[in-house]
Structure 1
Amino acid sequence: MQLDRRDFALPLDRPLRTSRGEIAERTGVLVRVADDGNRGLGEASPLPGWTESLADCRAGLDRAARALPEGPDAALAAVDGPAARHGLSLALADLRASEAGLPLYRYLGGDDAVTAVPVNATVGDAPPDETAAAAEAAVADGVDCVKVKVGARAVDADARRLRAVRDAVGPEVSLRADANGAWDRATAERALDAFAEFGVEFVEQPLPTEDLSGLAALRGGPVGVAADESLAAGGVDAVLNADAADALILKPMALGGVDRAREAALRARAAGVTPVVTTTIDAVVARTAAVHLAASLAPVAPCGLATGGRLERDLTADPAPVSDGAVHVPQLPGNGTTGAWSA
């Protein structure tokens, strides 16, 4: 068994503004594992603040390559960064699913044939009219769940933005917000109270990652609480044990792989917490794997998988296009993105 890697860099079509700053480019590493002529492909796309650095990711994959002759388990044990582990574990899963003749979602444990997964649209920070226009355009394309980035402005300003969105899309569209840990407890309480008027389903990460008791205290009102960054920082079990969330936002790249993200989703469901699969604006290989993960959990709430359009270009043609508010689930064996290596 052999591991190869190559770097890539993909510009976004426009910077995504969040409370943490702007994301303008996605850089990462393609990971290819070969075994007796068969190949599997994975992606490791580190993101500052979420995973290890790109340099540490490369170093982790080099350690995995040296350990791989001892077997896949030894290679995975040699990787200590979530993005690097995501890339390696996905390459191995793609390889084994292809050998078994199964689409990745069935290999992961999905029981039934699933052809589509509902998605939400993500709208970045912008003035009310721009935010509303972006949400309205997404709904016109068939999306019935919109997530709005908040926290970069005062609560009253974000409330005006959400009011503009609700007025633009009407009462039937689900509305979520994402604060990326921008608030303290008092501000978060005020925000959730203000957002209730607009029928917001939940706010992602209203408090800093470590404040699990604060997240738990926010629960119980009309606006739910979703944990996102807290999962990567403290672990899924810590969030669930603290009763700190109504929903878990599961980013496979930040959790170390689709296998770990699926385990987290199953633990969440057992605890009565809703799993929502999303990406870190990944390239096509990781993004498609996240689609397979969501399909393995079907039926699921709308997931943050409609992110391919954020890239100015991609590594290869997208086998999981989005239309009418849902993402297509590839049915060929494996992940369906091996062409990205030679593109």
Structure 2
Amino acid sequence: MLPPLDDLLATARVLSLPLVTRFRGIETREALVFEGPAGWSEFSPFAEYGDDEAVTWLAAAIEFGWHETPPTRRDSIRVNATVPAVPTDQVAQVLARFAGCRTAKVKVAETGQRLADDVARVREVRRVLGPGGRIRVDANGAWSVDEAEIAIRTLGEFDLEYVEQPCLDLADLAEVRQRVRYLGIPIAADESVRRASDPLEVARTGSADVLVVKVQPLGGIRAVLKLADRTGLPMVVSSALDTSIGLSMGAHLAAALPELDYDCGLGTASLLAQDVTADPLLATGGSIPVRRVTPDPRVLDRFAAPAERRDWWLSRLARCHGLLAASGRLE
């Protein structure tokens, strides 16, 4: 059931956490955390998302804080390193933060950069990882169909595990998948799943080989488990630049999936210069444990968001709670 708003506000804390390097165009990550009967949870839709999208993130946060998680099949999750669109001379430093990770996801198609920059970055990742490492690239839907075909053909020499969201439009995604099929490089969908009105459409249209899923944007662990059952496609559980509390939610999802063929994108605590806890979910031996996370009161105080941002988040929380109540989704 939907808890009263006052129950959420009673423990709600809004944080502004610095990042190690600029990522997704931001240098600090804002997040709202609160404690429910089952433990601490996180509500952290990106600031530019409207309430109609953010409300789904709140549904996930309430589920994780107020309900027991589904049974788990594994107690640790292998994770990938995440390499932002950094210059090549920073690649080794970034990868060093992901202890033991055998897989790296490399951001490409960054605004203001060229394909040559992507090639140089991916080449350096391959050099650092060696021939046995796995490399996946993520374009965040920034390429056209022709650009995607050229880029995938060019980057293919580095033995890609898959290419994530080369284009935004589903029809374009399907077209790219057909064009590069001869290369044997799978196409993964992220934004086409988490920001779609119907996440199942990706599977119905044959637009992707792999689904990248994020638990908050998709409404919670149980919602994603239903999606997995209905699509039958392999899944990679990834983060939305969460704190370790949000990563814990993702880890519990990954642990509950029947099959987990790929390393997950849940190692992003390494991108935070400061996490919410003194014991963050950092990769050790390439894995993170499946466990609940409790914030450090000192961090909650030291990295509390300014009053203006705190009020903005609390107002957003109240509006989204009202939308959930009106929808009857959690009754």
Normalising by structure 1, report the TM-score. 0.75
SS, match of residue 252 in structure 1: coil
CA distance in 2, matches of 1:290, 1:45: 13
2:195 corresponds in structure 1 to: 233
SS, match of residue 59 in structure 2: helix
1:68 corresponds in structure 2 to: none
Normalising by structure 2, report the TM-score. 0.78
Q: Report the alpha carbon displacement of residue 241 of structure 1 after superposing the two structures with TM.
A: 0.5
* Structure 2 residue identity aligned to 1:294: A
1:327 corresponds in structure 2 to: 288
Contact 1:195 1:223 in 2 (8 A): no
1:64 corresponds in structure 2 to: none
Q: Report the alpha carbon displacement of residue 194 of structure 1 after superposing the two structures with TM.
A: 0.9
SS, match of residue 253 in structure 1: coil
Contact 1:213 1:242 in 2 (8 A): yes
Structure 1 segments of 4 or more deviating over 4 A?
338-343
1:86 corresponds in structure 2 to: 60
Q: 2:256 aligns with which of 292, 296, 300?
A: 296
2:55 aligned with 1:126? no
Unaligned runs of 5+ in 2: 301-331
1:101 corresponds in structure 2 to: none
1:150 corresponds in structure 2 to: 108
SS, match of residue 162 in structure 1: helix
Q: Report the alpha carbon displacement of residue 160 of structure 1 after superposing the two structures with TM.
A: 2.4
Q: Report the alpha carbon displacement of residue 212 of structure 1 after superposing the two structures with TM.
A: 4.2
Contact 2:105 2:137 in 1 (8 A): yes
- For these two proteins, the number of residue pairs brought into alignment is 287
* Structure 1 residue identity aligned to 2:28: E
1:305 corresponds in structure 2 to: 266
**Percent of aligned positions that are identical:** 29
2:276 corresponds in structure 1 to: 315
2:214 corresponds in structure 1 to: 251
SS, match of residue 8 in structure 2: strand
Cα distance per residue 1:40-82 (max 9 Å; x no partner): 4321101146x43xxx48xxxxxxxxxxxxxxxxxxxxx9722
Unaligned runs of 5+ in 1: 58-78, 98-103, 331-335
* Structure 1 residue identity aligned to 2:192: S
CA distance in 1, matches of 2:253, 2:235: 11
After TM superposition, the structure 1 = structure 2 runs for residues 241-280 of structure 1, keeping only pairs within 5 Å, are 241-268=204-231, 270=232, 273-280=233-240
Q: Report the alpha carbon displacement of residue 230 of structure 1 after superposing the two structures with TM.
A: 0.9
* Structure 2 residue identity aligned to 1:44: F
What root-mean-square deviation, in Å, do the aligned CA atoms of Structure 1 and Structure 2 show? Answer: 2.6
Q: Sort the Cα spacing of 1:80 and 1:28 in 2 relative to 1 into closer, same or farther, 3 A.
A: closer
Cα distance per residue 1:178-212 (max 9 Å; x no partner): 11111000000001111111101111110024544
Q: Sort the Cα spacing of 1:298 and 1:213 in 2 relative to 1 into closer, same or farther, 3 A.
A: closer
1:72 corresponds in structure 2 to: none
CA distance in 1, matches of 2:39, 2:219: 17
